Chain A
Amino acid sequence: MKASWLKWAIPAAVVPVLLLLAYGFKTNPHDIPSPLLNRPAAAFSLTTFSGAPISLESLRGSVVVLNFWASWCVPACYDEAPALERTWREYKDKGVTVVGVDVQDKEEAAREFLAKFNHSFPNAPDPKGRVSVDYGVYGVPETFFIDRQGRVRFKVVGGLTDETARHHLDALLKEPS
């Protein structure tokens, strides 16, 4: 007699599994949260494509937008490049520096990319990937927003838009130095 309702346990057992799978739609397996948030940003010391040295240390005191890109990163890096340049032009007098880091790229392809978008902010290659790994970069493009005290505050995975950049920069600029 006990079997009469117990048998419905079989189809019922399927339900939690289906719910778990449905939960999967809300998450993005490629969107892995960064453990670097609110921690001091890793120091870096690179040489830009124009030969000048650039380091995080030298930028202490301004808000830094650190963008990782590559010329082979189609289409996302190409889509966001104009937005980065616009953001730089709008905010450079407000105490914000945009720095681009080129990963796993060939020099001529990278220079072509820079010329195509007329980037006026400093860009440097990361030849051995040390900086990429230091920032836990999974792929490109990824952009980090670093506050005046040198802490990583936001991370944007995928193409950056003007709105997102403005949103984060306005928030960081409001904070006291």
Chain B
Amino acid sequence: MRRGWAGAAAVIALTAVAAWAAPSTRPPSTGPVDEQVVHEVASQLRCVVCQSLSVADSPSETANQMRAIIRERLAAGENPEQVRAYFVAKYGDWILLSPPRSGFTLLVWVVPFVGLGIGLVLVAVAVRRWSRAPQAAAPSQIDPAVRERIRREMSQMDKP
């Protein structure tokens, strides 16, 4: 019985000392949360202050606080999807650095590739048309010796 009381007193005393010594505004630097995951979630969110940076990159105070919130929520057991959904619920789709790949915004992901594809087709068509042209011109009657000389000189022109 006495040992139990002494033990309890020690614990209380130690806790009191620890509480007195601990700085009050320290953010948790270690925890059960993987910093990589925090960084990953933060890099998908837009910093509302810096506008073109992600929450992971931005050095602003707001981004610091948002990262702390991400850490907290992950530590509380939420998965990255839920943390993202929380921010979207508060700020709207705008907070996501990448527009969702569905609905109207799917367009932004698709159009560039479609455009590139169309471009390739156009280039192919243009190349084909421009290569076919010489057949349209009627071959004129040139003295073979002159033609040979022209051919020789033209092939020399091509050397860099």
B69 contacts which chain A residues (CB < 8 A)? 129-130, 133
Residues B90 and A35 in contact, CB atoms below 8 Å apart: yes
What 0/1 pattern do residues 135 to 156 of A give for CB contact below 8 A with B? 1101100000000000000000
Say how far A139's CB is from chain B's closest CB, in angstroms. Answer: 7
Residues B90 and A136 in contact, CB atoms below 8 Å apart: yes
CB of A34 closer than 8 Å to a CB of B: yes
CB of A17 closer than 8 Å to a CB of B: no
Number of interface residues of A (CB under 8 A): 16
Residues B65 and A129 in contact, CB atoms below 8 Å apart: yes
Chain A minimum-CB-distance residue to B88: A35
Residues B91 and A104 in contact, CB atoms below 8 Å apart: no
CB of A112 closer than 8 Å to a CB of B: no
B87 contacts which chain A residues (CB < 8 A)? 133
CB of B62 closer than 8 Å to a CB of A: yes
Q: Which parts of B86-109 form the interface with A (CB within 8 Å)? A: 87-92, 94
Residues B92 and A133 in contact, CB atoms below 8 Å apart: no
What 0/1 pattern do residues 66 to 81 of B give for CB contact below 8 A with A? 1011000000000000
Task: Known contacts A130-B69, A138-B48, A139-B49; decide if A104 and B62 are in contact (CB<8 Å).
Answer: yes
CB of A114 closer than 8 Å to a CB of B: no
B48 contacts which chain A residues (CB < 8 A)? 138-139
Residues A32 and B62 in contact, CB atoms below 8 Å apart: no
A129 contacts which chain B residues (CB < 8 A)? 61-62, 65-66, 68-69
Which 8 pairs across A and B sit closest by C-beta, in order of nearness? A129-B65, A136-B90, A136-B91, A35-B92, A138-B48, A104-B61, A32-B94, A133-B69
Task: Spell out A's residues near B (CB within 8 Å).
Answer: 32-36, 104, 128-130, 132-136, 138-139
Further contacts, 7 of them, CB under 8 A, given A104-B65, A133-B87, A136-B92 = A35-B91, A104-B61, A129-B61, A129-B65, A130-B65, A133-B90, A138-B91
A-B contact pairs, 29 of them (CB 8 A): A32-B91, A32-B92, A32-B94, A33-B92, A34-B92, A35-B89, A35-B90, A35-B92, A36-B90, A104-B61, A104-B62, A128-B68, A129-B61, A129-B65, A129-B66, A129-B68, A129-B69, A130-B65, A132-B65, A133-B66, A133-B87, A133-B90, A134-B90, A135-B90, A136-B90, A136-B91, A136-B92, A138-B49, A138-B91
